[in-house]
Structure 1
Amino acid sequence: MPAGGRPTMRSRRLGSTLRRLREAAQLDQQQAAEYIAGSKAKISRIESGQVAARPGDVRLLLELYGVRDPDVSQHLEQLARNANKRGWWLDYVVPDGFGDYVALEEEATHIRSWQPLLVPGLLQTPAYTRTLVEGNPNITDSAVIEQVVKLRQERRRKVFDAGTRLSAVVGEAALTAPMPYVETHRDQLADLLDAARCSHVTVQVLPTAEWQATRCAASVFVMLSFDGEWSPAAVSQDTQDNIVVAEANEQIGRYASAFELLQATALTPSKSQELIREILRSLTEESAAS
């Protein structure tokens, strides 16, 4: 049984992939069960993520399904080994459901983010995050605030160290809205420019005047792709109390269309960097004049 007595994101991803490969091979669960000397119920539990498949069983199933790509085999066997692994984020205070999202984020090979009013979390500086959290009336404990800051920076470090592709569309208001501390604002814009120069990071700014695109998009969402695939396989949205992750193809398709519209309407990456530099220069001049 996966850690916590319920399916983990890793076990669900592994199970859904094995089910897809079995169906592509035109085999039923009974045939798969016989090949690994197990039961049909075991295959059902593996494919639903209720139990984590053992690496040996994964190896046999991939052999049965005709999967010959060593990279695919290695990845799925590693996923099986990690299915019950305790997440590093459990050392932090996290809201319900957030741990599942972080597990997905860590496994993602492409992350697409739309944020109309704030700098995306994975692109925030510690001071920027701290300023946001300090303004949250639901978080008053200074120790919890620091936990949130450290968790966000650790997520950022892992994504950047892994070279995960990150495509962010940010509303112009997120960059121009006044902040309590000008230095925090300037440092955040400078850091955003540095991140945008990374080969695996794309930042596009959606001008405030392009309200039509924002009208057609959800307020905030993040899409995740896995295993080097271009198409997103999960999408998350913040709610008042937690993060909701959707994996239904129909839902994901709607968000993918919205993100394509946002990207097409936003400034190009180079023009976006020019605008960020312009906003940063204006802040610096205002600060010097005051």
Structure 2
Amino acid sequence: MPAGGRPTVRSRRLGSALKRLREAAGVDQSVAAQAILRSVSKVSRLESGQASASALEVRTLLDCYGVRDEDERNRLEELARASNQRGWWLDYQETLRPDYADHITLESDSTYIRSWEPSLIPGLLQTSEYAESVISTGPVFIDPDRIAELVKVRQERQRRIEQGGVHFTAIIWEPAIAALRHDPAVCVGQLRRLLDAGQRQNVTVQILPAAASKTAGMSGAFVAFSFGVEPTVEAVTVRTVTNTTVVETPEDLAAYANTFDLLRSAAMSPEESAERIRQILGDVSDQMEEAT
């Protein structure tokens, strides 16, 4: 059983890939079970993510399925090794909900992250002041000590962006940025953070114009993840009031990938977006000077 007694996003991803490759090779579960000297029920549990596969088992199954692509083999063997590894976020397991931990696991494993936010600044680009403001004004009361822990988690999540280990594209609806004007104490630092982030080679920040309300209304906030060399969407997380849901079915993933492409096409270019942010920053700075 995966660590923690529940299927992890890593074990589910691995199981889904093994099932896809087995079916593509026309191999039934009994043959796969014989290859790794396990039962059919074990293979079934591997494919559902209910059980962990060792790197050796994965290698044997890939041989059985005729998978010769070295990149694919290495990726899946590494995923098997990582399935039960302890991530830094487990140091906060008393603070984090399991679904949030799943989201962080996907971030940690990703090579490409694409975020659509119609109402907030993405967590990977939030300042600590903005993060604290957002967390403390949510629909559920959170103890102040836990708020501080959650802010630390967001800061830790941002290390991958800062270290250049992942390509991150954020599309933000303009009203979410314009709304910062109403909180001058947070606004200036957050707008500067967006401008600084947009200068990184691995980060793209685009604003969807306020007038593009029909496009913005296509979907609520979501984050799409890719794990290989190509930016193919392999998992999506959708945030609701009470939890974060992981979307993994091929049909749904294709729909989210198409939605993100439509949002990106309707958004301002990165250069235009930076100029719009600078305009808002200038307006706020002028207002603050007038108030003093």
* Structure 1 residue 179 displacement after superposition: 5.2
Q: 1:102 to 1:214 in 2, by over 3 A?
A: same
Counterpart of 1:38 in structure 2 is 38
Q: Give CA deviations for 1:174-218 in whole Å, capped at 9, x if unaligned.
A: 111145642421111111111111112111101111112112x11
- Asked if structure 1 preserves the Cα contact closer than 8 Å seen for 2:32 and 2:43, the reply is yes
The 5-angstrom pairing of residues 10-25 of structure 1 reads: 10-25=10-25
Matched, 1:63 2:63: yes
Give the whole-Å Cα distance in 2 for the aligned partners of 1:141 and 1:242: 18
Q: Which amino acid aligns with 1:186?
A: V
- CA distance in structure 1 between the aligned counterparts of 2:210 and 2:182, rounded to whole angstroms: 22
1:151 to 150, 153, 162: 153
Matched residues, percent identical? 45
Deviation track 1:100-123 (CA, whole Å, cap 9, x = no partner) reads 221122112211111112111111
Deviation by residue 1:247-266 (Cα, 9 ceiling, x = unmatched): 12222222222222211111
Q: How far apart in 1 are the matches of 2:267 and 2:180?
A: 22
Unmatched 5+ stretches in structure 1:
none
Supply the distance in 2 between the matched residues of 1:101 and 1:258 (Cα, whole angstroms). Answer: 20
Task: Please state if 1:225 is matched with 2:226.
Answer: yes
**Cα distance in structure 1, aligned partners of 2:226 and 2:162:** 16
Shift of 1:164: 1.1
* SS of corresponding position for 1:204: strand
Q: Per-residue deviation at 1:98?
A: 1.5
SS at 2:210 equivalent: coil
Q: Partner of 2:287 in structure 1?
A: 286
Structure 1 Cα separation of the partners of residues 242 and 139 of structure 2: 13
What TM-score comes out, normalization by structure 1 length? 0.93
Q: What is the CA-CA distance between 1:146 and the residue it aligns to? A: 0.5
TM-score w.r.t. length of structure 2? 0.92
Q: Could you tell me whether the CA contact under 8 Å between 1:13 and 1:49 is conserved in 2?
A: yes
Q: Distance in 2 between matches of 1:30 and 1:136?
A: 50
Q: Which residue of 2 aligns with 1:108?
A: 110
Conserved 8 A contact 2:100-2:243: yes
Question: How far did residue 172 of structure 1 move?
Answer: 0.8
Residue 237 (structure 1) aligns with: 238
**Contact 1:106–1:159 under 8 Å retained in 2:** no
- Partners of 2:21 and 2:234 in 1: how far apart? 16
Report the secondary structure of 1:263's partner residue: helix
Number of equivalences: 289
* Residue type of the alignment partner of 1:250: E
How far has the Cα of 1:233 moved from its partner? 1.8
Report if the CA contact (8 A) 1:125-1:191 is conserved: yes
Aligned twin of 1:130: 132
CA spacing shift, 1:188–1:226, aligned 2, 3 Å: same
Any unmatched runs of 5+ in structure 2? none
Q: Distance in 2 between matches of 1:278 and 1:194?
A: 15
Give the alignment's Cα RMSD to 1 decimal. 1.8
Whole-Å separation in 1 of the counterparts to 2:272 and 2:145 = 40
What secondary structure is seen at the aligned counterpart in 1 of 2:163?
A: helix
CA distance in 2, matches of 1:57, 1:96: 27
| Aligned residue in 1 for 2:196 | 194
Match of 2:176 among 167, 174, 194: 174
Q: Check 1:19–1:230 CA distance in 2 against 1; reply closer, same or farther (3 A cut).
A: same
For residues 195 and 208 of structure 1, what CA distance do their matches in structure 2 show? 22
Tell me which residue corresponds to 1:258. Answer: 259
Instruction: Quote the offset at 1:36 in angstroms.
Output: 2.1
Looking at structure 1, the residues matched to 25 and 162 of structure 2 have their Cα atoms a distance apart, in angstroms, of: 36
